[in-house]
Amino acid sequence: MDPVLETFQVVTGAIAIYNSCETFGLIFSTFKSYKTLYFWSLVGASLGDFLFAIGFLDLFFGWYVGNSTIYRPLIVLTIGWYGMVTGFSIVMYSRLSIIGVERDVIRRIRYFIIYNVVFSHFPTTVFTFGANVIGTPFWVIGYSIIEKIQMTMFAIQEVMLGAMYLHYTRKMRYDKKITPIVRHTLYANMFVLVLDIAMLLTEYINLYSYQIMLKTVVYSVKLKMEFYILNILTSQLKSNTSAPKVSITGTISKQPRHAGEASKRPVLQAGGVDKAGGTSSSETPAGVVVTPQE
């Protein structure tokens, strides 16, 4: 094996494993309630990234030789791939209601995620096993084609989610205390979009062995960006309240622009509920309280 490629795979694999383990620990040290879609999608994405990295290192370096077979790394990396890719999309999907995305739009996003599971995950899984176990030209060439297709479909899915988050966030008005948080959130999502585009370009210039391990790092970094946003929100809210336990919350409330006129756009404000989500208002999966604008 090319020593440069080998070094790249080991280093990126190690970074991805470290990031996923760190994120996994942060999840359980941050959340008190384990009942939200946001929580479990974070768990699935972090575990998926870990398994994906381990599975491909196992496959690339032949750790499966001896008492095991090639099926072991293939099963591990496939399970990891499902959790890493779709898990991250569900992380983004689960917080769409925070920024005032209409229910009809959210439903269409959900259908698109399901579509990609059926028509991107499943066929790629079949060709992954066929190319590595059977190894005939049909399976190998088929895998190289469907790999690019699924990469494109998932990139579209994530770019669409990120762009939607940017679009709806910019349409909202904010309480002065939370404006810097929103700015950091926008920058974080723009960074994620750049990572997605870079990963897709690597696939299309046929650097497969580099692209696979780069993917593990990209997804682990994207998850850490989620916690970057989470920590900024928590720190900001703690500095603006005397309550001993403060977590992330945003409340969309009625704020008239001037006397007699109600605002047409929702206002995002800092609030004060704990991480367990104790509140009398309806709570989104991301632990954010939303009161719809009338």
In a domain, 163, yes or no: yes
Contacts of 20 (CB under 8 A, 6+ apart): 46, 47, 49, 50, 53, 220, 223
Number of domains in the chain: 1
In a domain, 93, yes or no: yes
Note whether 165 and 149 are within 8 A (CB). no
Token output for 117? 């599971």
Q: Which domain holds residue 59?
A: 3-239
pLDDT digits (tens, 9 = 90+) for 122-180: 999 999 999 999 999 999 999 999 999 999 999 999 888 888 877 887 776 555 656 66
pLDDT reported for residue 45:
96
pLDDT reported for residue 171:
73
Note whether 185 and 288 are within 8 A (CB). no
In a domain, 19, yes or no: yes
Which residue positions in the chain have pLDDT lower than 70?
1, 64-68, 172-181, 230-294
In a domain, 77, yes or no: yes
Q: How far lies 173's CA from each of 12, 101, 256, 291, in Å? A: 40, 14, 11, 15
In a domain, 134, yes or no: yes
- Looking up tokens 């309480």 gives 175
Q: What is the CATH number of the domain that holds 174?
A: 1.20.1070
pLDDT reported for residue 239:
60
Which amino acid is present at 37?
Answer: L
Query: pTM for this structure?
Result: 0.76
pLDDT reported for residue 233:
58
pLDDT reported for residue 177:
59
In a domain, 261, yes or no: no
Token output for 43? 């768990």
In a domain, 204, yes or no: yes
In a domain, 273, yes or no: no
pLDDT digits (tens, 9 = 90+) for 85-113: 999 999 989 888 877 889 999 999 999 99
pLDDT reported for residue 102:
92
